[in-house]
A and B are shown apart, each in its own frame.
Chain A
Amino acid sequence: MNTETFQTHETAWCPGCGNFAILKCLQSVLKQLGKDPSEVLIAAGIGQAAKTPQYISANAFCGLHGRALPAAVAAKIANERLTVIVDTGDGDSYGEGGNHFIHNIRRNVDITHFVHDNQIYGLTKGQASPTSMLGLVTGVQTDGNFNEPLNPVLLAIACGAGFVARGFTGHQEHLKALMKQAIEYKGYALVDILQPCVTFNKTNTFAWYNQRVYELDASYDPADKIAAMQKAMEFGDRIPIGLLYREEKATYHQKNAVLKQGIPLLDKKTDFKYINQVIESYI
């Protein structure tokens, strides 16, 4: 493999943005896993984080706002040999794409979902995101955000996701380990990654996160669903990061009668003998 594997490109991000750390971790983890860029697909919708596929050399699908998940899961269904990663923001994943988030957990297609969660909309210049905290004042939420923030990790566990984790861009080695496990996990894996937005979110700054996060240690059992839900609800003075919940579940490919045969869908050939039989059944 050449040394320039997964090389990164010049970005349009603000200096100090948490996106840089995530991009660096992503690149490092893909290299560690020995993946060839041609077998990796990185998908995103629209947003600042959603530009990630543009900045790393791999197959890239930059689709519609909120719609990265349906395109990505279908790409995985089409070709199970691709390592499919959705790498995008909180607005794309939980706002515009909220419905797809819920239903792709149910499908459990073997893809990885990295969410750059900075609790703000960056590309549209600083409006509330689904995870914005109560009271956050923006150009639109002029009286302060009064809608309850969405808890993505709690929602994912409740919906039946088999791999739910939270990371922080300030703990990069820890984050890399989570990202690696998530990619290796067979099934839908969510890593919600806390990151500062240096330009638009003056509340949830690097220091704000850094003071609050703590890494879950070996005494924490990610197999206990009830405990995981309780842990997932902890988001205040202290914020746990790490693997919150893990459960092995049948993937979409293991459940679907066509895909479980193990031949990538795109390599299947049309059986004209069968088609003619079906045609004859109408005679």
Chain B
Amino acid sequence: MYNLLIGGAAGQGIDTTAAILEKLLKCSGYNVFTARDFMSRVRGGHNFSLLRFSVSPVYSHSNQLDGIVALDEETIRLHKDQLKEHGFILCDSKLSAADSRLIQLPMAAMAKTLGNPRVAGSIAVGAVLKLFGESLEHVGTVLHTFVKQPFFDINVQAVQDGYQSMETRFSHLPGPYSAQMLVSGSKAVALGAMAAGLRFYSAYPMSPSTAVMEALAAKADEAGIVVEQAEDEIAAVNMAIGASYAGARAMTGTSGGGFSLMVEALGLSGMAEIPLVVIDVQRPGPVTGLPTRTEQSDLKFVISASQGEFPRMVIALRNPSDAFYQTMRAFNLAETYQIPVILLSDQYLGDATATVAPFDPQKIPMVESGSVDAGSGEYLRYRYTENGISPRLIPGKSAHLVAIDSDEHDESGRITESAAVRNQMMDKRMKKLEGLQRELQEPEFMGTDDFEILLLGWGSTWGPMEEAVQLLNKNQPGRYAALVFGDIYPLPQQRLKEKAAKARCIIDVEQNATGQLADLIRETTGIVCDHRMLKYDGRQISGEEIAERIRKEELK
């Protein structure tokens, strides 16, 4: 397993260099995981990508580096302590640092000689390939997808020049991953939505959720999707609801601040029983918080957002595969139960790319929009039924009229203040929770059944949790296990109760300051976590950090 950091100031091309490299490494057979850490600025500052590649699965980042590609001195200063003894720091000859691991290469001068200073990044790509014992086999194919035709030849030349200027330090390892996908969480959400038959996506740009909108917009014309940039998040969510009411599968996406604006309309989806899928790509709050960083602090907010009571479903996404299939499933749940379904992602998952098995859209059969059957007699949009689900006709698709109201309403959708109807309507809507209970997917269990210590987590910490269990069990096989929740509200309880009963100690691991999952678990099941390991600095916890913090705690 190798771990490479590419760092520099915003605007220096870190993202492109990392994207080209990760694709080349995947094509040569590696399993790749790239985490992206950047500041909320367009130029300057300090940004980096962490590229981890291995011939066995890697699901998260590591801060122990084999190599650093430094585009500025700041990168060397900030990260050299994370570099292993035999690691390297590749940088331009103009940069200097008192470190024996430094490899200086006149990349800027070489690029200038080639005729374009902007190909310095490609020189670095070539140098890194050689350092890790790679061939130049896939360079042509990969560069075609990143570089425009007029600049293709010069970039290929730059990669070759960089390659020839280096000596190999690490040997190539043959891995089986070349036919896998390399995709980020946010792009996987967009693909899942497309495969689910999305027709309308409305959103207001907000980091880190914009990646979903951009991925959809890039394919919208060919996929037959309307992507509309709304004037604000209130418009975005109300547009999605209007489109869904009229029969187009609809979704909106935002981060916590935008979700705050969407809250009232979330209740409209619940009250008027109009299917809605919303993704909240979380970032640290409160308010503007740390705009480009990661956190899991919106859980309690989204499970209770909006006044009054209505059924809803919240699914936390754990990795890009999960993001794809759960997004598809979210549309089915929203359609079947005529409720809002909220997907919780975060900056770490949204922006990180990972190697995954190619997605299969056929795996999730999709439910059609609207009911086929209007029921017998007069059409009643909110007919009382056994399971609380009423026939949802699409306006204009039959002779029946479809009336919806945010006021309490009777079966025909007309406003009412009748106490009896109010009770019946509330009961009808809340009845859908019984159906939802049967849909719940239990959290993923990592470990073996003879464990003593149980870690609990949710969403994007899935990768770090998996690694932490492995690391912790190295010396004490089987002692540690973990449960990582995807479906999180309503909370699936069966496996949790079963494992909690066996655990000698339960440690809650969350990327927030209070332990929101631990609170939810205690409220729902009475199970109390013995420890809460929390992190809220905006940087994703790694498997190594979880393991280290647990070991330290145990030594006390």
User: What separation, in Å, do the CA atoms of A156 and B268 have in the docked complex?
Assistant: 28
Question: Which stretch, B84-92, B157-165, B229-237, touches the partner chain A?
Answer: B229-237
Which residues of B lie under 8 Å from residue A268 when comparing CB positions?
199, 224
Among A9, A62, A79, point to the contact of B404 (Cβ < 8 A).
A62
Question: Which stretch, A98-106, A195-203, A209-217, A218-226, touches the partner chain B?
Answer: A98-106
User: What separation, in Å, do the CA atoms of A271 and B219 have in the docked complex?
Assistant: 12
Which residues of A lie under 8 Å from residue B358 when comparing CB positions?
279-280, 282-283
Which residues of B lie under 8 Å from residue A81 when comparing CB positions?
396
Interface string of A249-262 (1 = CB under 8 A from B): 00000001111000
At the interface, yes or no: B400 with Cβ under 8 Å from chain A? Answer: yes
Question: Which stretch, B132-140, B242-250, B527-535, touches the partner chain A?
Answer: B242-250
Contact A74–B246 (Cβ < 8 Å): yes
Which 6 residue pairs spanning A and B have beta carbons closest together?
A71-B242, A78-B248, A74-B242, A78-B246, A75-B246, A103-B231
Given contacts A60-B403, A73-B239, contact A266 B264 (CB under 8 A): no
Contact A271–B228 (Cβ < 8 Å): no
Question: Which stretch, B111-119, B180-188, B445-453, B460-468, touches the partner chain A?
Answer: B180-188
User: What separation, in Å, do the CA atoms of A208 and B309 have in the docked complex?
Assistant: 46
User: What separation, in Å, do the CA atoms of A93 and B162 have in the docked complex?
Assistant: 62
User: What separation, in Å, do the CA atoms of A83 and B108 have in the docked complex?
Assistant: 62
Contact B194–A77 (Cβ < 8 Å): no
Interface string of B251-271 (1 = CB under 8 A from A): 000000000000011001000
At the interface, yes or no: B220 with Cβ under 8 Å from chain A? Answer: yes
Given contacts A57-B401, A71-B239, contact A82 B194 (CB under 8 A): no
Interface string of A54-73 (1 = CB under 8 A from B): 10011111111001001111
Interface residues of A (CB under 8 A from B): 9, 36-39, 41, 43, 46, 51, 53-54, 57-64, 67, 70-79, 81-82, 99-100, 102-103, 256-259, 265-266, 268-272, 274-276, 278-280, 282-283
The 13 listed contacts between A and B (C-beta, < 8 Å) are A54-B403, A60-B401, A60-B402, A61-B245, A63-B238, A63-B404, A70-B235, A74-B242, A78-B247, A257-B220, A265-B226, A279-B191, A283-B181
Contact A79–B231 (Cβ < 8 Å): no
Given contacts A38-B398, A61-B404, contact A266 B199 (CB under 8 A): yes
Contact A266–B246 (Cβ < 8 Å): yes
B236, closest chain A residue (CB): A70
Among B202, B243, B265, B413, point to the contact of A64 (Cβ < 8 A).
B265
A79, closest chain B residue (CB): B246
Contact B402–A79 (Cβ < 8 Å): no
At the interface, yes or no: B200 with Cβ under 8 Å from chain A? Answer: yes
Contact A74–B179 (Cβ < 8 Å): no
Among A59, A67, A100, A258, point to the contact of B221 (Cβ < 8 A).
A258
Among B181, B244, B400, point to the contact of A279 (Cβ < 8 A).
B181
Contact B395–A51 (Cβ < 8 Å): no
Which residues of A lie under 8 Å from residue B228 when comparing CB positions?
74, 77
Which residues of A lie under 8 Å from residue B264 when comparing CB positions?
64
Among A46, A100, A279, point to the contact of B406 (Cβ < 8 A).
A46
Contact A259–B226 (Cβ < 8 Å): yes
Given contacts A60-B413, A283-B180, contact A77 B223 (CB under 8 A): no
Contact B182–A282 (Cβ < 8 Å): yes
Which of A53, A61, A79, A258 gathers the greatest number of chain B CB atoms within 10 Å? A61
User: What separation, in Å, do the CA atoms of A77 and B199 have in the docked complex?
Assistant: 10
At the interface, yes or no: B502 with Cβ under 8 Å from chain A? Answer: no
Contact B242–A274 (Cβ < 8 Å): no
User: What separation, in Å, do the CA atoms of A103 and B264 have in the docked complex?
Assistant: 20
User: What separation, in Å, do the CA atoms of A279 and B187 have in the docked complex?
Assistant: 10
Contact B415–A54 (Cβ < 8 Å): yes
Among A9, A77, A275, point to the contact of B248 (Cβ < 8 A).
A77
Which residues of A lie under 8 Å from residue B296 when comparing CB positions?
none
Given contacts A61-B242, A279-B181, contact A274 B222 (CB under 8 A): yes
Shortest Cβ distance from residue B416 to the other chain A in the assembled complex, whole angstroms: 10
Contact B265–A41 (Cβ < 8 Å): no
Which residues of A lie under 8 Å from residue B400 when comparing CB positions?
38
Which of B241, B244, B268 gathers the greatest number of chain A CB atoms within 10 Å? B241
User: What separation, in Å, do the CA atoms of A102 and B398 have in the docked complex?
Assistant: 34
User: What separation, in Å, do the CA atoms of A279 and B236 have in the docked complex?
Assistant: 27
The DSSP consensus for interface residues of chain B is: mixed
Contact B199–A58 (Cβ < 8 Å): no
Contact A64–B403 (Cβ < 8 Å): no
Shortest Cβ distance from residue A9 to the other chain B in the assembled complex, whole angstroms: 8
User: What separation, in Å, do the CA atoms of A76 and B200 have in the docked complex?
Assistant: 12
Contact B246–A99 (Cβ < 8 Å): no
A39, closest chain B residue (CB): B396
Which residues of A lie under 8 Å from residue B202 when comparing CB positions?
70, 74
Which residues of A lie under 8 Å from residue B2 when comparing CB positions?
none
At the interface, yes or no: B197 with Cβ under 8 Å from chain A? Answer: yes
A96, closest chain B residue (CB): B234
Which of B242, B244, B366 gathers the greatest number of chain A CB atoms within 10 Å? B242
User: What separation, in Å, do the CA atoms of A60 and B179 have in the docked complex?
Assistant: 51
Which residues of B lie under 8 Å from residue A78 when comparing CB positions?
199-200, 242-244, 246-248, 250
Which of A64, A76, A256, A276 gathers the greatest number of chain B CB atoms within 10 Å? A64
Contact B395–A59 (Cβ < 8 Å): yes
Contact A282–B183 (Cβ < 8 Å): yes
Contact B241–A71 (Cβ < 8 Å): yes
Which residues of B308-367 have CB atoms within 8 Å of chain A's CB atoms? 358-359, 361-362, 366
Among A41, A79, A269, A275, point to the contact of B361 (Cβ < 8 A).
A275
User: What separation, in Å, do the CA atoms of A72 and B246 have in the docked complex?
Assistant: 9
Which residues of B356-409 have CB atoms within 8 Å of chain A's CB atoms? 358-359, 361-362, 366, 369, 394-396, 398-407
Which residues of A lie under 8 Å from residue B404 when comparing CB positions?
60-63
Contact A70–B242 (Cβ < 8 Å): yes
User: What separation, in Å, do the CA atoms of A254 and B394 have in the docked complex?
Assistant: 24
Contact A79–B395 (Cβ < 8 Å): yes
Which of A70, A256, A257 gathers the greatest number of chain B CB atoms within 10 Å? A70
Given contacts A63-B272, A78-B243, contact A99 B406 (CB under 8 A): no
Known: A71-B241, A265-B200. 7 other contacts (CB 8 A): A54-B415, A62-B406, A62-B407, A74-B239, A79-B248, A256-B226, A272-B362
Contact A275–B191 (Cβ < 8 Å): yes
Which residues of A lie under 8 Å from residue B265 when comparing CB positions?
64, 67
User: What separation, in Å, do the CA atoms of A33 and B171 have in the docked complex?
Assistant: 77
Which residues of B lie under 8 Å from residue A102 when comparing CB positions?
231
Contact B241–A37 (Cβ < 8 Å): no
At the interface, yes or no: B546 with Cβ under 8 Å from chain A? Answer: no
Contact A265–B238 (Cβ < 8 Å): no
At the interface, yes or no: B203 with Cβ under 8 Å from chain A? Answer: no
At the interface, yes or no: B225 with Cβ under 8 Å from chain A? Answer: yes
Which of A103, A271, A275 gathers the greatest number of chain B CB atoms within 10 Å? A275
User: What separation, in Å, do the CA atoms of A102 and B394 have in the docked complex?
Assistant: 29
Contact A270–B413 (Cβ < 8 Å): no
Contact A74–B243 (Cβ < 8 Å): yes
Which residues of B lie under 8 Å from residue A41 when comparing CB positions?
246, 395-396
Given contacts A74-B246, A82-B246, contact A266 B239 (CB under 8 A): no
At the interface, yes or no: B484 with Cβ under 8 Å from chain A? Answer: no
User: What separation, in Å, do the CA atoms of A72 and B242 have in the docked complex?
Assistant: 6
Contact A266–B398 (Cβ < 8 Å): no
Which residues of B lie under 8 Å from residue A270 when comparing CB positions?
194-195, 197, 223-224, 366
Which of A57, A74, A81, A282 gathers the greatest number of chain B CB atoms within 10 Å? A74
Which residues of A lie under 8 Å from residue B235 when comparing CB positions?
67, 70, 99-100, 103
Which residues of B lie under 8 Å from residue A61 when comparing CB positions?
242, 245, 404
